[in-house]
Amino acid sequence: MGSQRTVGFAQFEPRIGEVMYNLAQVRRLAMQAPQADLLIFPELATSGYELIDKDEVRAVAEPARGGPTFETLHDLAIANKSSYVIGYPELDGDALFNSCMLVNPDGSSANYRKIHLFSREKELFSPGNLPPSVQKTAAGLVGMMICFDWIFPETARLLALQGAQIIAHPSNLVLQWCQRAMFARSVENRIFTITANRIGSEERVGRRLTFTGASQVTSPTGETLVQAPEAAELVGTAVIDPDDADRKWVTELNHLFEDRHPEYYTGLV
Ligand code: ACM
C-alpha cells in the first residue's frame, strides 16, 4: 500500500557570492511550503553560478556538514519535518566540488558531487569522485544528480537500478533541452523526477548566461505534475505516491529492468 507525499522545488534567483542573502531566500521559500516532505533547491543555490576562478569558489565553498548551508537546512528540516536537497560549492580538504546535500528531519544527511561538469565548471571544480547513491528521505527513496548529469542517461539509470523512487535534480540550466529530456528520464526509468532550476541572468566572464526556469515535477508515466514559469520565482509542489515508482511493468509482458539485455551493453563501458 502506498502513501501520499508532498514533493516539490523552490525556483528563485540566487545572487552571485552572497551566501547569507541566498540562505535567507532558502529559509523564506522553505517556509512557503512547510508541508512539503521533500523540497529541492537549484544547483549552486548558495553561491550563484558564474564564479570567476577557484579563489572565488573557495570564498563561498563549505563542507558537506557543519557549514552555514547544512545548519540552515538542518534547522528547517527539524522545524518542518521535511527533507531538503540544495546545490552548493563544496570544499573538502583542498578540493572543490559542485555538490548537493540532502538533509533529513532525523539529522541524517548525504552528499553528491556532480560527475559530469558543464563547460567552464571544468576550470573551477573537480569532477565528482563518489558513485551516485540512493538515500532514505521523508518522501521515500531519493537519488541525487546535478544539472548536466541529465544528458548522460546512465546517471538516472544507475539511481533507478538502486531503487530510487524520486530523482532530485538541482539545476542551473542554460541549454534548451533538459526539461523535455527529463520526461524521458522519468518514463525510461518509471521514476519521479524533480528538476529545480534557477531564474535570472549572469554576465561575468564575457558571456551572458540566462537560466531557463521551468522547474518541474514529472511522474513515472511522464505527466508534468507541476511546472514553474520560465522567469518567475515559484515554490511548486505536487502530491505523489512514491510507491508508484516501484511498478516497473510497462505492459503485462514487459518489465523495465528484467527485460534488459546487459550482455549486449558491454560496449557502454
Ligand atoms: C549545468 O550543468 N549547469 C548546465
Model confidence at 2, in pLDDT bands (50, 70, 90)? low
pLDDT surpasses 80 at 1? no
Q: Please give the number of the atom of ligand 1 that sits closest to the Cα of 171.
A: 3
For residue range 188-241, list pLDDT tens digits in order.
999 999 999 999 999 999 999 999 999 999 999 999 999 999 999 999 999 999
Please give the Cα distance from 72 to 101 (Å, whole number): 12
How far, in Å, from the CA of 191 to the mean position of ligand 1? 22
Average pLDDT of span 74-96: 98
| Any ligand 1 atom below 6 A from CB of 69 | no
Q: Check the CA dihedral 197-203-205-206 and report its sign.
A: positive
Q: Please give the number of the atom of ligand 1 that sits closest to the Cα of 117.
A: 2
pLDDT of residue 33: 98
Average pLDDT of span 135-163: 98
pLDDT of residue 217: 99
Percent of residues, the chain, with pLDDT higher than 70: 99
| Any ligand 1 atom below 6 A from CB of 147 | yes
| Any ligand 1 atom below 6 A from CB of 174 | yes
Burial label, 208 (beta-carbon count in 10 A; 0-12, 13-18, 19+): exposed
pLDDT, the chain, mean: 98
Helix or strand or coil: residue 177?
Answer: coil
Please give the Cα distance from 248 to 190 (Å, whole number): 6
Q: How many CA atoms lie within 13 A of 260 on its CB side?
A: 12
